[in-house]
Chain A
């Protein structure tokens, strides 16, 4: 982690659409609104005053050096950090205007709405079918026809159906790494979420499997709001509409991906994007 005595400029939310030079193109509505969000592990403050609006049905990428807080922030969006002892959130995150960090929020329902895909694919030691149907069964759905329908639809959306349709009862563990990752995506899609959080979903995959995941992300944004954490800057440039750059727990810059990669406004962003850190 870089240690330097610099004042990190913090990106302000663009609440006035006229402030954007591209105000003429229709801005999609905000899906996730974040205001003055802070996060602590015990006494350590790991996220500082984050403000941003994540647009509906677009891909937003979080980039930044290791330890910059991007994964912690991603996990805050479906309250995955709640299970960590001593973890504490402050400020506001709202999905469709509804605040996440209120005592009456049903966390299980929230996680159904906000699915998550991890860096390392983690299929259950069950068949492909049962992996995808898992969330539905937990939710009480046992009707075979309904399950068949959802499993097929989810696998189609995860661009895996054609590869596995003849062997749905085979173990998911026998699939390739890229296929396992798509099973996990299908499993997340099966419970019909609005938002998909992806934490380095392709970092453990070979280039061809990575390309499939990237294509899939691009397809999925028609129906889902996607937030992706990636270490691979070219991947962020290829798949995302908006990019947020984090450093030392602060949001340094958040803008259209084109602007971040061609004309970043902050020197820190420029140095990171061009690999001139350290």
Chain B
């Protein structure tokens, strides 16, 4: 194995480790929200520093790789994809932290209503992030495109959840603060799904050299 291949392999390992940490943060944020568990939420918030640290480590490794190895062709696309995927992962982790912060605030009051759309939204977003990382590992553009196609479903569900929460706000002004927090949470999951979509666009670029971003 070439020295350069080892560097690329190391970059891939770091990205996958970060991906696992982000998936974990996301799963736990959903648990904190659905089980109304403040302790879990606080753990997710505390763990975010190590994800941020991971981002810096990957950035450093990527820049060094470019400076020393001058990658070309598929290697260059891999490095470019890594540089674009890392901030997406970091953003998803930040959104999981946001979910946890809103969950802690919600736990201070009785539940507004049994949650229906938001858990569905969370599950789809979670699935999309997991599949995006799988697609990246396997350079599987079929799976990547399937993930991208689900983004519309997520948008519709977010909209539907917002409309329902709006009726609670119109009904009783005491519902507003909780309904707004839940609206935010819906939006956070929608943006995590956007992150998964962006990762999948980079997977297609990596594997096929095609830029499909902004093409629809």
Residues 228-278 (chain A) with a chain B CB within 8 angstroms: 233-234, 237, 261-264, 269-270, 273-276
Query: In the complex, A96 Cα to B72 Cα: how many Å?
Result: 34
In the complex, what distance in Å separates the CA atom of A234 from the CA atom of B70? 8
Kindly state the separation between the CA atoms of A261 and B4 in the bound complex, as whole angstroms: 17
Q: How large is the interface on B (under 10, 10 to 19, 20 to 34, 35 or more residues)?
A: 10 to 19
Given the interface contacts A262-B209, A263-B209, A275-B4, does A237 sit within 8 Å of B77 by beta carbon? no
**B2 an interface residue at 8 Å Cβ cutoff?**
yes
- Residue numbers in B under 8 Å from A275 (CB-CB): 2, 4
Q: How large is the interface on A (under 10, 10 to 19, 20 to 34, 35 or more residues)?
A: 10 to 19
Residues in chain A near residue B74, CB distance under 8 A: 270, 274
* Bound: A233/B70 CA distance, A: 10
Interface residues in B63-98 (C-beta closer than 8 Å to A): 70-77
Q: When A262-B209, A263-B209 are in contact, do A274 and B73 touch as well, CB less than 8 Å?
A: yes
Option from B2, B70, B73 in Cβ contact (under 8 Å) with A263:
B73
Residues from chain A with Cβ under 8 Å of B70 in the complex: 234
Q: Give Cα A269 to B73, complex, Å.
A: 9
Chain B residues with CB below 8 A from A234, complex form = 70
**Are the C-beta atoms of B4 and A263 separated by less than 8 Å?**
no
Closest to B5 in A: A276
A275 to B209, CA, bound (A): 19
A135 to B49, CA, bound (A): 70
Residue of B nearest to A271 (CB): B73
Q: Are A273 and B77 in contact (CB under 8 A)?
A: no
Taking CB atoms, residues of chain A closer than 8 Å to B73 are 261-264, 269-270, 273-274
Contact call A274/B77, Cβ cutoff below 8 A: no
Given the complex of chains A and B, what is the CA–CA distance between A269 and B70 in angstroms?
16
Q: List 25 A-B contacts (CB under 8 A).
A: A234-B70, A237-B72, A261-B72, A261-B73, A261-B76, A262-B72, A262-B73, A262-B76, A262-B77, A262-B209, A263-B73, A263-B77, A263-B209, A264-B73, A270-B73, A270-B74, A273-B72, A273-B73, A274-B71, A274-B72, A274-B74, A274-B75, A275-B2, A275-B4, A276-B2
4 pairs of A and B residues whose beta carbons are closest in the complex: A263-B209, A273-B72, A273-B73, A270-B73
Query: Which residues of A are interface residues toward B (Cβ below 8 A)?
Result: 233-234, 237, 261-264, 269-270, 273-276
Other than the known A274-B71, A274-B73, what 17 A-B pairs have Cβ atoms closer than 8 Å?
A234-B70, A237-B72, A261-B72, A261-B73, A262-B72, A262-B73, A262-B76, A262-B209, A263-B73, A263-B77, A263-B209, A269-B73, A273-B72, A273-B73, A274-B72, A274-B75, A275-B4
